[in-house]
Amino acid sequence: MDTKIKKLKEIDKTKNPFKVPDNYFAQFNEEIMNRLPEKEIVVPEPVSLWDRARPWVYLAAMFVGLYITINFLMKTPAGGNPAENQPVTQQTLSGSPGNADNYWSSVQITEEEFYQYLEDQLIGDSYFDYMYHQYYLN
C-alpha cells in the first residue's frame, strides 16, 4: 500500500498527463463525416391516382352494396300484397283520416272475447312462460 501512495506522490501535479493532438477539435467534424459510410439516396416511388382513390372507391362500393341489400330485403314478395309490407299509418288503416272512428265503431266484440283472445295469445305464443319462467303442459 505504501508503494501505491509513493507513486501517487511522485506524479507531477502541475503537468496534465493527458494530451490531445493539435487541431483535433478543429477538424473533429470533418474526421467523423469522413469515417461514416455514404448514405444511399432512396427515391420514393410515385403514388398512383388509383392508390390514392382506392379507399374512397371501396367505401362507395360498400354503401352501394348496403343500399342494394336493404332495397332487396324491403321488396314485397312476388304475388304478395304490397299493402302488407307498407308501414301502418292512419290512412292505411282507414283509407282516409276521418274514417278511423267509423272502423273501430263497426267492430263487434265483447270485452270478454277480447280478454280471451289476449289470454290465448299469451299462452299460445309462450309469452306468459317467458315472463314468469313457468311452463305448462297443454
Contact 74, 85 (CB under 8 A): yes
The per-residue pLDDT for range 47-83, each reduced to its tens digit, is 999 999 999 999 999 999 999 999 999 886 665 555 5
CA dist., res. 128 & res. 134, Å (int): 8
Read off the pTM.
Answer: 0.31
**So what's the pLDDT on residue 83?**
52
The per-residue pLDDT for range 75-87, each reduced to its tens digit, is 866 655 555 555 5
The per-residue pLDDT for range 30-45, each reduced to its tens digit, is 888 889 888 888 899 9
The per-residue pLDDT for range 96-130, each reduced to its tens digit, is 555 656 666 677 888 898 888 888 877 776 665 66
Q: What ranges do the domains of the chain cover?
A: 108-138
pLDDT > 90: percent of the chain: 20
Contact 136, 130 (CB under 8 A): no
**So what's the pLDDT on residue 80?**
55
Contact 72, 66 (CB under 8 A): no
